[in-house]
Amino acid sequence: MARKELGPRSLEVARAVAAMIDGLPRAVIGCSGGPDSLALALGAEWAGRRTGTRIVGVIVDHRLQEGSAQVAVRAAQTLDARGIDARVVAVDIPTRRDGQSYEGGPEAAARDARREALSQVAGTDPVLLGHTLDDQAETVLLGLARGSGATSLAGIRPRAGRFWHPLLGIRRATTVAACREWGVTPWQDPQNADPVFLRSRVRHETMPVLESQLGPGIAEALARTASLLQADEEILDAATADWLTAHGVDPAVPEGSRLPLRPLAAAPTGLARRVVKAWLDAAGVRATFAHVEAVRGLCRSQGGSGVDLPGVRVTRRGHELILTSAPGL
């Protein structure tokens, strides 16, 4: 039986996916069953038949909501009915030994567990996720509210390592319309409308106010800001790597790693901050702005001064900063 021609919205989604997977032998699609990821999966099936790419859909059951297993099975059945190899992977969300919330909160824990599960299925193949232009705009706005730097304001990258995002140029309304054109009913996650979650409040309260007060096009403008900063980030990352190489710093060997003080103190503030951040990141430190500034402050201190950070200690000795494991670890 001949396949039905795609409608304008489903075709827009499918073409965006095709442009990203062309030439790939296999791609894994992360699908929650919601409109964005469901449209992504169906668009990938259409694109895969044209690019010769095998599409595998993975539904991760976080087991955090009642009935989550049924939601996952229903999403898998929807994909199976459309000719997509679909599988459900159940994960456990870790907690700290003291029983408290995982670092970054339950949303961060769920994201980490989900990405690990997707990576396990994907192997060396890329994982496609259904983030849209609206998600990008919300990410930039949240970064602005938190006083973030350019790295955070650059938002979601089209290709962030193994995780690829083909729908960043497409509005959420388009994925909803695409699902209608495909004749599927997506799952509506109740957490997306729960005001207890900050992103939900931004989505349903803040963005509509900005649109009404500043005029249409706010989401597109915020997403464009991310795109512009991503290009700038490439240049700044290269400058940071060049500085580290020029001064003999190998971030791949964090224990006992040293930063020369005089060149660091002489570097422009923005570059110095990035150098320190890259140095700490290589040691596994989730360095905040306060952490970076505390380390930079050692440039003005006396020899023997030090700063304790999560899991490491940075000490000034002579004209160097030395990074070691924190005492007791």
Residue 327's pLDDT is 65
Q: 166 with 16: CB under 8 angstroms?
A: yes
The third-level CATH classification (topology) of the domain covering 8-222 is Rossmann fold (3.40.50)
Tokens coding 38: 């469901």
Angle at 314 between CA 160 and CA 148, to 5 degrees: 40
Q: 114 with 62: CB under 8 angstroms?
A: yes
Instruction: Say if residue 33 carries a ligand binding annotation.
Output: yes
d(CA 296, CA 121): 42
Instruction: Say if residue 8 carries a ligand binding annotation.
Output: no
Which CATH code for domain 248-325?
Answer: 3.30.465.60
Q: What pLDDT band is residue 2 in, cutting at 50, 70 and 90?
A: very low
Residue 1's pLDDT is 35
Tokens coding 212: 């009404």
The helix (run of H) or strand (run of E) holding residue 306 is strand 306-309
Burial (CB < 10 A; 0-12, 13-18, 19+), residue 148, is middle
Instruction: Say if residue 22 carries a ligand binding annotation.
Output: no
Instruction: Say if residue 61 carries a ligand binding annotation.
Output: no
Nearest residue to 174 via CA among 33, 4, 43, 311:
43
CA distance from start to end of the chain: 65
Instruction: Say if residue 232 carries a ligand binding annotation.
Output: no
Residue 51's pLDDT is 97
Give the domain ranges of the chain. 8-222, 248-325
- Residues 161-186 have pLDDT tens digits of 999 999 999 999 999 999 999 999 99
* pTM higher than the cut 0.85: yes
Instruction: Say if residue 105 carries a ligand binding annotation.
Output: no
